[in-house]
Amino acid sequence: MAALDDFLGDLRACTLCAASLPHGPRPIVQIGHGARILLIGQAPGRKVHASGIPWDDASGDTLRGWLGLAKAAFYDPAQVALLPMGFCYPGTGKAATCRRGRNVRRAGTRLRTHTCRQSP
């Protein structure tokens, strides 16, 4: 359990891509011990970046409706883990698409490195 807490602390403090993020780093993720549902989606959008809450926009309303989950259950990290492909909002336009791919690769490397350090 400590490994997950350490990882989340490291992730939330991450500034690895700060120079290429026009709105600055703000990793958005929800993971709790024992969550039995893992939802993986795209990088957070502008509204989610502003609120800091995953799927806190119209797409989240739609997703919760499809899943038949109340907001309280959806946002309970002990039940549902919410993990974006890119942890931070990359901005908009063609440059954002390029940044998004580069940032996901960097974050993925960091995640794999962290996971490997925690493995026995």
% of the chain at pLDDT higher than 90: 31
SS3 92: coil
Q: What tens digit of pLDDT does each residue of 69-111 get?
A: 999 999 999 999 998 888 887 877 654 444 445 544 555 555 5
> What pLDDT is stored for residue 79 in this prediction?
95
Q: Compare 23 and 105 and report the one with higher pLDDT.
A: 23
- Alpha carbons 12 and 53: distance in angstroms, whole number: 13
> What pLDDT is stored for residue 106 in this prediction?
53
Domains and CATH numbers, the chain: 25-118 (3.40.470.10)
pTM of the model: 0.71
Residue 93: how many CB atoms within 10 A of its CB? 10
12-21, 33-42, 61-70, range with the lowest pLDDT: 12-21
